[in-house]
Amino acid sequence: DIVMTQSPDSLAVSLGERATINCKSSQSVLYNSNNKNYLAWYQQKPGQPPKLLIYWASTRESGVPDRFSGSGSGTDFTLTISSLQAEDVAVYYCQQYYDLGSWTFGQGTKVEVK
């Protein structure tokens, strides 16, 4: 199975400041045939189910604010919140779908307001 490792486990950021979450996969999730990275990001607020934010590593889901952006390729990826808002307090997960028989998530990164 592809192991997804996020860093840090938690971070505290002041309102209006940038938050950066990293995700590393144990093997590349870049499909050479179509040059796509098979990686998604989710946001989970307390007591709620996860919500899809980004897929193909950098494509925002419809309705997701543009302060959320995804980048990276191969094994190293980043989710950036350009200007943290109070409603962004949540746990964020990356997920690979390169291995189409075992879909795996990172352990999660908790984002709080400093």
Partner 1 sequence: EVQLVESGGGLVQPGGSLRLSCAASGFTFSSYWMNWVRQAPGKGLEWVANIKQDGSEKKYVDSVKGRFTISRDNAKNSLYLQMNSLRAEDTAVYYCARGVGYRVYYFDYWGQGTLVTVSS
Contacting positions for partner 1 (CB under 8 A) = 38, 40, 42, 44, 48-52, 55, 61, 93, 95, 97, 100-108
Calpha distance 110→92 (Å, rounded): 6
Report which of 66, 67, 112 is spatially closest to residue 90, judged by C-alpha positions: 112
What is the closest distance, in whole angstroms, from the C-beta atom of residue 68 to partner 1 in the complex?
A: 15
What is the closest distance, in whole angstroms, from the C-beta atom of residue 3 to partner 1 in the complex?
A: 12
Q: For partner 1, which is the closer residue by CB, 61 or 82?
A: 61
Calpha distance 54→43 (Å, rounded): 10
- Tell me the one-letter amino acid at 46: P
Q: For partner 1, which is the closer residue by CB, 19 or 94?
A: 94
What is the closest distance, in whole angstroms, from the C-beta atom of residue 16 to partner 1 in the complex?
A: 28
- CA-CA distances (angstroms) from residue 5 to 33, 43, 64, 76? 25, 16, 24, 10
Q: For partner 1, which is the closer residue by CB, 16 or 49?
A: 49
